Amino acid sequence: MIPSYLQQIPHGKEKGTFLALDLGGTNLRVCEVELLGNSKWTMRQQKYKVSEALKVGEVTDLFDYIAGSVDHFLTEIGTNATEDEKLHLGFTFSFPVLQTALAAGTLINWTKGFECKNAIGKDVVQLLQDALDRKHIHVRCSALVNDTCGTLMAAAYERGDCLCGGIFGTGTNGAYVEDLAKLTKMGYSKEDLEQSKAQGLDFMVVNTEWGAFDNERKVLPFTVFDSRVDRISINPRKQAYEKMISGMYLGEVTRNVLLHLVDSQVLFSGYSTKALNAHYGLDTALMSALEAPFVPNSTESADPVKHIRSVLTSSLGFDDARVTDADCIAAARVSEIVGTRGARFAACAVAATVRQTGGDQADADGREMVFGLDGSLVEFYPRFEQRVRDALVELLGEDVTKRVKIVLAKDGSGVGAALCAQAAQAMETKGASTGK
Ligand code: BGC
């Protein structure tokens, strides 16, 4: 788990104009966010594609491209800030970073298909600032943010309260608010803690990096399919939990199970297709399509077999004549089982956060625990929240689960980064250690 150095949670009254940069989702995004001070904001944004070559090339090429995108944004789209103001930028960098200050941190390892050279161990803020300075762009990177921390900040700004920000998208991770005294790895003395308390800084947001949970493979019930996915992934033996939960991998696990059933001669009369044989050939979005008929009252539920058959033939290249009705139901059931397993693991992380923060204790009676969640699974995967909630009841009981409020916190990596840049300014004023 990684301290974020974030010790300022928004309440909705924050104001100002900030730049936000978001790397680690589907695209690179540059945004200008205006915080209006009434829990609302406006945003102008531009997406930039990060090519596969940039994802695995020299890290300086990646950062030059990022700086070039900021430059393009400022010249083409413009900014509302005045000429002489140096723009403050919040940088959402959604990879494991050993943060050493609010605006400093070294990359631990890449995830989600990135593998740039000469990046591990480097300070990513420095890499960005150097690239911006090389292009004489008048912007200062004042906060380095994980997308989960950004999500937490965005949800708190909108609602006035949020305990945890979580992402269930391409990757998975969560951040939550912890008592400073419990962050023993920070090595604070009793005096430090007392002083922090007096300044109202006795808590910190923790980036859990829960996607790396059980990389040692001591706890989770791994299957042979998980091992296959891991072995040929770009980062074997890393992100063990993420590989059972997140959007980048669920389709791949499903594909491996389906292939096993094909090879066992119990599915599709023992025949596969080019798409099903291809590494990452079954996109997780396809699982949503396969499972659409299981959503009560959906249009697809009228004739499940017809719908699943059309998905199998149009997206996976199956020959209609080879697919039986039983194949259709079995394929969709495999998808549902893999997805439900993922959602149940996701619930474990939510339940662990509730327990760690004392939300399951008798004296927490009545306390609502807000989880601001974002990511493609939360947004698009059928019945994701329901599956998580069903598992939460098993883990925490009905009463505690009722107090867990799951809200969709969209775009934490944009608005959240702006809020972190704002928090950096505010914390500097309070005298907190932001590292600058
Ligand atoms: C990264 C996290 C990130 C998560 C969600 C994971 O692969 O390690 O830093 O928060 O994806 O984007």
Q: What is the pLDDT of residues 67-122, one digit of tens each?
A: 999 999 999 987 776 665 678 999 999 999 999 999 999 999 999 989 999 999 99
How far is the centre of ligand 1, averaged over its atoms, from the C-alpha of 169 (Å)?
9
**Chain center to CA of 363:** 31
Structural domains in the chain?
A: 2-147+411-430 (3.30.420.40), 209-408 (3.40.367.20)
Query: What is the rounded distance in angstroms from the CA atom of residue 97 to the CA atom of residue 144?
Result: 9
pLDDT of 435 > 50? The answer is: no
Residue 333: burial class (beta carbons within 10 Å; 0-12, 13-18, 19+): middle
Q: What is the pLDDT of residues 202-243, one digit of tens each?
A: 999 999 999 999 999 999 999 999 999 999 998 999 999 999
For 356, list phi and psi in degrees, rounded to 5. Answer: -60, -30
Query: What is the rounded distance in angstroms from the CA atom of residue 60 to the CA atom of residue 357?
Result: 40
Q: What is the pLDDT of residue 426?
A: 79
Q: What is the pLDDT of residues 179-205, one digit of tens each?
A: 999 999 999 999 999 999 999 899 999
Secondary structure letter of residue 164 according to DSSP: E
pLDDT of 386 > 60? The answer is: yes
Rounded to 5°, the CA angle 70-72-73 comes to 65
Q: What is the pLDDT of residue 365?
A: 73
Question: Do residues 254 and 282 lie in contact, with contact meaning Cβ atoms separated by under 8 Å?
Answer: yes
How far is the centre of ligand 1, averaged over its atoms, from the C-alpha of 208 (Å)?
10
pLDDT of 151 > 60? The answer is: yes
Query: What is the rounded distance in angstroms from the CA atom of residue 323 to the CA atom of residue 80?
Result: 58
Q: What are the angstrom distances between the C-alpha of 384 and each of 43, 347, 387, 390?
A: 28, 10, 5, 10
Closest C-alpha residue for ligand 1 atom 6: 171
Query: What is the rounded distance in angstroms from the CA atom of residue 96 to the CA atom of residue 175?
Result: 12
Closest C-alpha residue for ligand 1 atom 11: 171
Q: What is the pLDDT of residues 32-61, one digit of tens each?
A: 999 999 999 999 999 999 999 999 999 999
Q: What is the pLDDT of residues 111-137, one digit of tens each?
A: 998 999 999 999 999 999 999 999 999
Q: What is the reported pTM?
A: 0.93
Mean pLDDT computed over 153-164 = 94
Query: Is 387 an active-site residue?
Result: no
Question: Do residues 419 and 8 lie in contact, with contact meaning Cβ atoms separated by under 8 Å?
Answer: no
Neighbours of 361 (CB within 10 A): 12
Q: What is the pLDDT of residue 410?
A: 86
Closest C-alpha residue for ligand 1 atom 9: 95
Question: Do residues 215 and 89 lie in contact, with contact meaning Cβ atoms separated by under 8 Å?
Answer: no
Q: What is the pLDDT of residue 82?
A: 64
Of 109, 146, 152, 242, the residue with max ligand 1 atoms within 8 A of its CB, to mutate for a pocket test, comes to 146
Q: Which of 4, 22, 64, 94 is catalytic?
A: 94
How far is the centre of ligand 1, averaged over its atoms, from the C-alpha of 96 (Å)?
7
Query: Is 29 an active-site residue?
Result: yes
Q: What is the pLDDT of residues 246-304, one digit of tens each?
A: 999 999 999 999 999 999 999 999 999 999 999 999 999 999 999 999 999 999 999 99
Query: What is the rounded distance in angstroms from the CA atom of residue 377 to the CA atom of residue 96?
Result: 21
Q: What are the angstrom distances between the C-alpha of 436 and each of 14, 132, 428?
A: 21, 18, 8
pLDDT of 324 > 60? The answer is: yes
Q: Which of 147, 226, 327, 360 is catalytic?
A: 147
With a Cβ cut-off of 6 Å, ligand 1 is lined by 24, 94-96, 111-112, 146-148, 167, 169, 171-173, 209, 211, 239, 242
Query: What is the rounded distance in angstroms from the CA atom of residue 261 to the CA atom of residue 395?
Result: 32
